[in-house]
Chain A
Amino acid sequence: MPMQDLIRLLKDGKSRSVGMIAAELGMSVEQVQRDIEFLEQNGIIRRIEFSMCGDCSGCSGSSSGEDRKTCPGCTPEGGFKNMGVMWEIV
């Protein structure tokens, strides 16, 4: 039962890449990605969204109040985009 194995695997507190999970469960990377999508869509795991700079008052971008989620003083426009994706169990 691959998805239940995946959920069980995450209970030990370690973090794994998609490739590591595939290797540990003897699945293909595509299958793991499919399971992740399924679990995310059904609210069993969630994608971690990082709000970068909350309401830091020290940066010009956020003090002018336009877009509080990212400010040019702390992060590139639109936040860090190439940090990969992380999921956790809800």
Chain B
Amino acid sequence: MTDKNEIVIALLGQPNSGKSTLFNALTGLRQHVGNWPGKTVEKKEGSFVYNDRKYLAADLPGTYSLSANSDEEIITRDYIASGKADVVCILADSSQLERSLYMLSDFAGIDVPCFLVLNMDDVAREQGKEIRVSDIEDRLGIPVVLFSATDRKGYDKFYAALEKAVENKPLLNSDALEAKYGQIPEYVSIRSIIGDISDNSKSSMWLAAKAVEGDAPVVSRIRTLLSDDKAAEFDEAVKNIDKGIVKTGECKFAWIDELISGSVNKSKKTVELGKFDRLITHRIWGKAVVVITILLGLLASFIPALPFMGLGSAVGMLPDPLNEMMINAGCPAFIAAIVCDVLIRCLGFVIQMLGFVFGVTFVFGLLEEIGVMARISYVFDNTMAKFGLQGKSVMPFLISFGCTMGGAAGTRVIDNWGQKVLTIALSWAIPCGAAWAVVPMLSTLFFGAWTPVIIAVILIVMILHMWLTAKIFGGSLVKPENRCGMIMELPPYHKPKWGALMRYVFGRTKDTFIRSLKVVLIVAFVFWLLSYTSSGDASNTVLFKVGQAIEPVTMIFGMKWQTFTAFVASSLGKEGALGVLSTIFSGTGTLSVGMMAGGEQAANLNELLLANITKPEALAFIFAITFNMPCIVALAATYQETHSVKWTSIIGLYYTFTALVLSGIAYHIGLLIW
């Protein structure tokens, strides 16, 4: 009771129990907000009048429980136990009583008049739950209201329970809970040490249970209430308790289950896994279904790429006529060559690539939006275990499909250093966004309709690569006992938010366009300078001579010196390879003219590439750049995350080496086919 003769009612409930809705409905605009003494926790109070009685409602902070985990919880429980509130209104969500009654069970043992509000009964009814209030009332010994705080017509029931609680001052019957606590040996010994002490309205049962939970403020408070030798005995008993919170928690939940058993009728609704979920969680077919899903996704992502391919090759046609025009208009040959050979050809290449970026981002963004991606990571969790990795390594891997740097940064969730390094090492084997643009584009150019097969083989090689890499490095990086289990909750399927998805897709496409154009232009310009001669005869350039000198070696890996140079450039970023191809194989000072059959000038770069690179060489080249180091920045990111020069260089060299080996294998297989 306040000095203004108001009856104080404290609203206690977990977040989302509808506490604020109730508070607002009761007090309307008669609210004021302050702070709890000495704390920055908000204190909301409001007044209302019912049946000529004045009430003051205190909206306590919404917390999960009354433990000492936060300031809010300590304020809440001390306020309740202080007796400043005449009656405590405890809220719970009717639609999930087994969870939301936890607040009630944590309150049990604080001897303050109270009543229970089972809010959101409309939701519970929709779920087919039928709650028998009178049963629960009998078991608890306090008024219980079943209503919905959003329904203004139902408030009579609430006010009736409130008045009953104010008149009769009912206390919550916690005998059944105490009986459960009695099965915890630690509780029994503490309870016998502290005897019947109490602190304000906190009963000895409540205090003993909190002491078992290792609640620091309660433990030190009890110590002050005990005689010296009892306090020492108490300290000894508290010290030896392990995971006390779990033990009392189990009692509280068992008490809740008993409380609602028989008083809640649920129309049985067995949750069945959806068709797709049953498929992917299948022990044998699961992985196959997932791989096929990814593959179909990739295939579908090529569809939007086709118009870009067309546009890109149209731009790629421009240089020759443009070059002629510029020279006729009196432009110096050097400038005309830069514009045509470097700028426009690169632009054409990048545009051709963009379609794949757009498509891949769209399809995989969509799979994520509707909840399929989560299931993919779920299926591969046990594969992670075989690699010696945590289930959470799946996320960095998935991010690596977009950007290896993001993947490396994503490994920050992995605390174990060895597992972190191994995760980064394996994530390098995953072709990044740039690779998913360059590789399908080149595959389409060289292998046309066979592209899906190439992509499928790349995916298979990727998995084998990761497996082998894990075998090679796993032993020295991870111990099996470092792995600990995880709980994964799959998201429900839902409709995609098209707006957000499209913004993501366009954002990423734009981003890639800018980044790729930069890389391609820089690389192209450097190589163009290296190969430019005013005479048009490139065979005297240093690049050409060095290239021819190393070609016997590079041919072991199935690469002519031109493609090998492009491979080296791809270490800067996969797009770099395009920069090299566009200059070396084209242009007015072209290196390729002499090599071309009949010496006929081809109209566009695509045809030039086809004429100069055989299919086995193209296959070798595709594998070489796919599995080469993702980019120079990824190397830096790897160092940043591992802080190890040794492992960063090992990973870098290992990937350069394996890319060459894979390229050699691809070339020789290619020679057998074509």
- Which positions in A face B, CB cutoff 8 Å? 1-4, 7, 9-19, 21, 29-31, 33-39, 41-45, 48-61, 72-77, 80, 82-89
**How many angstroms between the C-alpha atoms of A35 and B16 in the bound complex?**
18
Neighbouring A residues of B373 by C-beta, 8 Å: 80, 82-83
**How many angstroms between the C-alpha atoms of A39 and B64 in the bound complex?**
11
Neighbouring A residues of B403 by C-beta, 8 Å: 53, 56, 58-59, 73-74
**Using a Cβ–Cβ cut-off of 8 Å, how many residues does chain B contribute to the interface with A?**
71
Contact B515 A58 (CB under 8 A): yes
A-B contacts at CB below 8 angstroms, number = 216
Is B59 interfacial (CB-CB < 8 Å)?
Answer: no
Query: What's the nearest-Cβ distance from chain A to residue B175, in Å?
Result: 22
Query: What's the nearest-Cβ distance from chain B to residue A88, in Å?
Result: 5
Neighbouring A residues of B641 by C-beta, 8 Å: 54
A-B contact pairs, 25 of them (CB 8 A): A1-B247, A1-B250, A4-B250, A9-B485, A10-B484, A13-B485, A15-B488, A16-B487, A18-B489, A30-B99, A33-B99, A37-B99, A42-B69, A44-B246, A51-B409, A51-B412, A54-B405, A56-B405, A56-B406, A72-B507, A72-B511, A75-B504, A82-B491, A83-B398, A85-B488
Contact A16 B488 (CB under 8 A): yes
Contact A52 B508 (CB under 8 A): no
**How many angstroms between the C-alpha atoms of A33 and B490 in the bound complex?**
12
Is B483 interfacial (CB-CB < 8 Å)?
Answer: yes
B232-264: CB near A (< 8 Å → 1, else 0) gives 000000000001011101100100010000000
Contact B485 A12 (CB under 8 A): yes
Is B500 interfacial (CB-CB < 8 Å)?
Answer: yes
CB contact between A89 and one of B408, B484, B491 (< 8 Å): that residue: B484
**How many angstroms between the C-alpha atoms of A11 and B480 in the bound complex?**
12
**How many angstroms between the C-alpha atoms of A3 and B490 in the bound complex?**
21
Is B61 interfacial (CB-CB < 8 Å)?
Answer: no
B61-84: CB near A (< 8 Å → 1, else 0) gives 000110101000000000000000
Neighbouring A residues of B489 by C-beta, 8 Å: 17-18, 36, 84-86
**How many angstroms between the C-alpha atoms of A12 and B391 in the bound complex?**
13
Contact B65 A36 (CB under 8 A): no
Q: With contacts A42-B249, A74-B399, A75-B399 known, is A15 near B504, CB below 8 A?
A: no
Given contacts A15-B486, A52-B406, 20 further A-B contacts (CB under 8 A): A3-B249, A13-B483, A16-B486, A34-B98, A34-B102, A38-B102, A44-B246, A48-B486, A51-B412, A51-B413, A53-B399, A54-B637, A56-B405, A57-B633, A60-B515, A74-B403, A74-B406, A82-B491, A83-B491, A84-B489
Q: Contacting chain A: which of B151-159, B292-300, B362-370, B652-660?
A: B362-370
Contact A15 B381 (CB under 8 A): yes
CB contact between B485 and one of A3, A10, A18, A49 (< 8 Å): that residue: A10
**How many angstroms between the C-alpha atoms of A76 and B38 in the bound complex?**
42
Is B374 interfacial (CB-CB < 8 Å)?
Answer: yes
Neighbouring A residues of B245 by C-beta, 8 Å: 42, 44
Contact B491 A84 (CB under 8 A): yes
**How many angstroms between the C-alpha atoms of A19 and B278 in the bound complex?**
12
Is B503 interfacial (CB-CB < 8 Å)?
Answer: yes
Contact B246 A3 (CB under 8 A): yes
